[in-house]
Structure 1
Amino acid sequence: MADTLRLSVPIVIAQLGVVLMGVTDNLFVGRLLGAVPLGAAGLANSLSFLVSSIGIGGLSVIAAMVSRAAGQGNEQGINQLFRASLRVALLFSLVFGGLSAIVGLNFHWFGQTPEVTQMGREFTLILSVSTLPLLLFTATRQLADGLRQPRVTMTITMLALAINALFNYLLITGYGPFPELGLNGSALATLISRIFMAVAMLAYVYRSHRFRPFLQAAYAHLPTKTQVTEIMRLGLPGGLTFFFEIAAFSIASVMVGWLGAAELGAHQIALNMASTTYMIATGISTAGAIRVGNAVGLGDRLRVRQAGLAAFVLATAFMTVCALVFFTANDYLVGLYIKDNPTVAGMAASLVIVAGFFQLSDGIQVVGIGTLRGLSDVNVPTWITLFAYWVLSLPVGYLLAFTFEMKAVGVWLGLLIGLTTAAIFLTIRFFRLANRYRVTASDPVVAPATVS
């Protein structure tokens, strides 16, 4: 438990820094520009992140693979994994950056108001350019996290957060020599901060003595085709698992947008809060994946189970506290985002209450995905999330919102049902595999035994 907590804290802070960039964008946009631009920016961010989520989720398997190789003392393998991860990141950037641009050019597909459509189109096109630095940063941080050096990522992310906040103010308002760009200034601030993250992360890894043993020139000629194939084999199902959940929330945003701009603004406020706690839980999930992967590399079945259990306990404790905060301080939290619009604030406060109910499920399901990733179990979780979010969550949410006229609250109740279903099945899956797991320290990638 203590080891997981020590590893989790800097990863959690780094994850919090990433999501706080979105929070910062929304705070500046909501207070300086109003509810309609806030809704447009929130929807554009959701759709852009949805497109890139397969790449982000796909690359996230690398930390557990690096940790496993470290457990085996395989420096050469770590070098090949790192170089392969950069190649995969470049490939993913071309594919998902292009798809994000297509989404931006066709923002009218989502049936929003003309004003939201125009603002969202331009915002998404700017964000599509930032896909390359985002995925290069994601790939590089996998090396640091897998080698249990997450403070590197934490420091760079927090610096990027400050840069993002500064340029939000400068470019939205046009302070001093900077042009007044309004909503697009917020998108450019995100692009600038992501470029900084990628450059700083790569520079640190290549210059720091901590990573020198794994980046020796003697390894540079070694082929990476096998590692690229392995990352793609494990990463794409893992990326789809991430995609199905993110897509459910993005489509939920689209459905709420059909109800009106005010409802969409309220939805984005509540979603921003829920996303903050979710990203912190993903830090615990990542720590769990790293510790489980390392235990697999060491060939220690008992440690596999203990590492997973510690991650589940930490996530449960943290998300319980978050739920209590959402229940008791919802009005205050909403007030941080918007003022002088009691209609939007009232709707957002109601949605924050619903978000409080699914905090526990959200934390448990993301830890389930992470710990299973440490076991190289990616296919079954993909099917579980597909069922939970697309067969249950979205149809039920639509039915409650439009047939039973529960509006945005109905959409959020559908999300609650999907998250709870995923949490139950993923938890069962992990402990069944952990109890039957057979590990061999010499195996480069250990696959779990088939569980019927």
Structure 2
Amino acid sequence: MKKFIQTYRPEIADTLRLSIPIVIAQLGVVLMGVTDNLFVGRLLGAVPLGAAGLATSLSFLVSCIGVGGLAVVATLVSQAHGRNDSTAIGRLFRAGLWVAGLLSVVLGGISVVVAYNFDRMGQSAEVAKLAGDFMLLLTVSILPLLVFVAARQLCDGLRYPRVAMAITLSALVLNAVFNYILIEGIGPFPAMGLMGSAMATLLSRGFMATAMLLYVYRADLFGEYVRKVVDTRPLTDEIWTILRLGIPGGLTFFFEVATFSLAVVMVGWLGEAQLAAHQIAINMASTTYMMATGISSAAAIRVGAAVGRGSQEGVRRAGIAAFVLSAGFMSLCALLFLTANDWLVSLYIRDNATVAAFAASLVIMAGFFQLSDGIQVVGVGSLRGLSDVNVPTVITLFSYWGVALPMSYVFAFPLGLNVVGVWVGLLAGLTIAAVLLTMRFFRRVRHINPTNVSDAQLAHSAY
């Protein structure tokens, strides 16, 4: 144990340093949607809040394919950096921006189709109209969002994640200001009501994309990658590589997000009290999950850098450090959920004993699946560092849609476990994903040739 601690203490410390700014940046993006809902709910009421929440959730579900898909660029950049290949880094950066544009068109088209079909989702006419208009404006903001995500991959891949963190936090403040001004109509600005909140998101994302591009192109840190363009060949190969590796990664993210979205629908069939309790518990679990995603991103970057150096031992150590760090953090969260569940629920609700009772039991369930959730997301990130994305996509599809959702339905309805049954199914799916993804990572590490690690070897999963 002492030798293990001596060996992995610097590895874990480095992973932690890299992951903290990424966690803050990712939380900032999520909190923008929370900010929109807070302002809409307080200033406009329940119906606009419901419409905005519905549109925001579905817009995130669509755009997460692009956000998750572009994350592979940071891994490829870290691999190229490990090889000291500055030309490849510059080409990957430019190719990432092209892919962001392409995905914006495709995902924007899907978003428009959804926006014009809210009336087919069983919503009231007023909610369908408001949500459709809200989502159309959010559709426009997909482009600046993905441009920001693509540009930040250069910073993250080169281990400068604080850039995106600072820009995201600034945008979060601007989003709150824009919400207040545009919803209410302060000064020379007309009162836009609900559309003012959507416009605030568009303006905030536009700021994020502009600020990130300006920083990257003007900072001396990145000058050799973005200003000194010495390779003017077409970016076709890099664009195809990002799409080939990124689309499965984006779908992996989509499958997980969609699973929890469908679980909400399933809980809604059980009753309003169960739905409210589920929202309380899932909000807590989602917060801890976002912390683990930062560790996952750090794992992808550190594993990718070790791949670029051709270091099998470096790959193994980077992966183990991320697994240990995530397991330790999520175990502490689990302990909190299991021992302070009633107190945590009281922070959300105090005047409804039925909801509080349901929520307290679900927080205990959330405590049980903390470890599985943290391990599976780090498994995805570590495998992304190896450019292994196809098999993990199949694993997540099987775990979430083949196991979690069917089991959730069976335990909740035929077996009569109510809302707890839904969470039993989610726990089963997350656990299976964690086991299979972890096994996959260590199997891949054993097959790495430490003297000759090629992109082709890592990008294709033949076993």
TM-score past 0.5 threshold: yes
CA contact 1:14–1:154 (8 Å) conserved in 2: yes
Matches of 2:352 and 2:400 in 1, distance apart?
32
Q: Give the TM-score taking structure 2 as reference length.
A: 0.88
- Residue equivalent to 1:62: 73
Instruction: Classify the secondary structure of the residue corresponding to 1:376.
Output: coil
- The structure whose RCO (Cα within 8 Å, separation 6+) is larger is 1
| Aligned-pair CA distance for 1:219 | 2.7
Confirm or deny: 8 A CA contact 2:249 2:393 kept in the other structure: yes
Question: Contact 2:365–2:424 at 8 Å: present in 1 too?
Answer: yes
- How far, CA to CA, are the matches of 1:7 and 1:133 in structure 2? 25
Deviations 1:347-386 (A, max 9, x none): 5555444333322211111100000011111111011001
| Separation of aligned partners in 2, 1:319 and 1:182 | 40
Correspondence for 2:13 = 2
Q: Residue 330 of structure 2 aligns to which amino acid in structure 1?
A: M
* Corresponding residue for residue 244 of structure 1: 255
Counting only pairs closer than 5 Å after superposition, residues 275-294 of structure 1 correspond to structure 2 as 275-294=286-305
Are residues 408 and 128 of structure 1, via their aligned partners in 2, closer, same or farther at CA, if it must alter by over 3 Å? farther
Structure 1: distance between partners of 2:110 and 2:190: 29
- Over aligned residues, Cα RMSD in angstroms? 2.8
**Greater radius of gyration (CA):** 2
Greater Cα offset, 155-164 or 298-307 = 155-164
* SS of residue in 2 equivalent to 1:149: coil
Residues of 2 paired with 1:32 and 1:193: CA distance?
20
Which residue among 48, 56, 73 is the counterpart of 1:45? 56
Deviation (angstroms), 1:269: 4.2
Q: How does 1:235-384 map onto structure 2 within 5 Å?
A: 235-259=246-270, 264=275, 266-330=277-341, 347-384=358-395
> Which digits, 9 at most, give the CA deviation of each residue in 1:204-228, with x for residues without a partner?
1011000001123433623211101
Report if aligned partners of 2:90, 2:229 keep a CA contact under 8 Å in 1.
Answer: no
- Report the CA distance between 1:309 and its aligned residue: 0.5
CA distance in 2, matches of 1:337, 1:131: 32
Does 1:21 find its partner at 2:32?
A: yes
Aligned counterpart, 1:400: 411
- Looking at structure 1, the residues matched to 209 and 140 of structure 2 have their Cα atoms a distance apart, in angstroms, of 13
Cα deviation per residue 1:139-198 (whole Å; 9 max; x = unaligned)?
Answer: 111111001111101111111121223333444555565555555444333222211111
Q: Partner residue of 1:234?
A: 245
Q: Distance in 1 between matches of 2:440 and 2:166?
A: 35
For 2:356 and 2:47, the matched residues in 1 are separated by 13
Residue 79 of structure 1 corresponds to which residue in structure 2? 90
User: Which aligned pairs between 1:140-219 and structure 2 lie closer than 5 A?
Assistant: 140-172=151-183, 181=192, 183-219=194-230
Where does residue 386 of structure 1 map in the other structure? Answer: 397
Once the two structures are superposed, residues 65-103 of structure 1 have per-residue CA deviations (whole angstroms, 9 ceiling, x without a partner) of 000001111111111111110111000000001111211
1:63, distance to aligned residue in structure 2 (A): 0.5
Distance 2:297 2:410 in 1: 35
Structure 2 residue aligned with 1:225, among 217, 220, 236?
Answer: 236
Structure 1 residues 440 and 173, CA, compared in 2 at 3 Å: closer, same or farther?
Answer: farther
Equivalents in 1 of 2:171, 2:298: separation in Å? 22
Q: Structure 2: which amino acid aligns with 1:187?
A: A
Distance 2:190 2:413 in 1: 43
Match of 2:113 in 1: 102
**1:153 and 1:340, CA in 2 relative to 1: closer, same or farther beyond 3 A?**
same
Sort the Cα spacing of 1:35 and 1:352 in 2 relative to 1 into closer, same or farther, 3 A: farther
- After superposition, give the CA deviation of every residue in 1:8-45 in whole Å (9 maximum; x if it has no partner): 12112212222222333344455556666555444433
Please point out which of 128, 137, 140 is paired with 2:148.
Answer: 137
Structure 1 counterpart SS, 2:458: coil
The within-5 A match list for 1:416-435 is: 416-435=427-446
Q: 1:411 aligns with which of 403, 422, 427?
A: 422
The one-letter code sitting in structure 1 at the alignment partner of 2:324 is: V
Structure 1: state its 5+ residue gaps: none
Structure 1 residue 445: deviation in Å? 5.1
More displaced 10-residue stretch of structure 1: 120-129 or 435-444: 435-444
**1:270-325 deviation digits (Å, cap 9, x = unpaired):** 43332222222111101101110110110110010000001111111122222333
SS of residue paired to 2:229:
helix
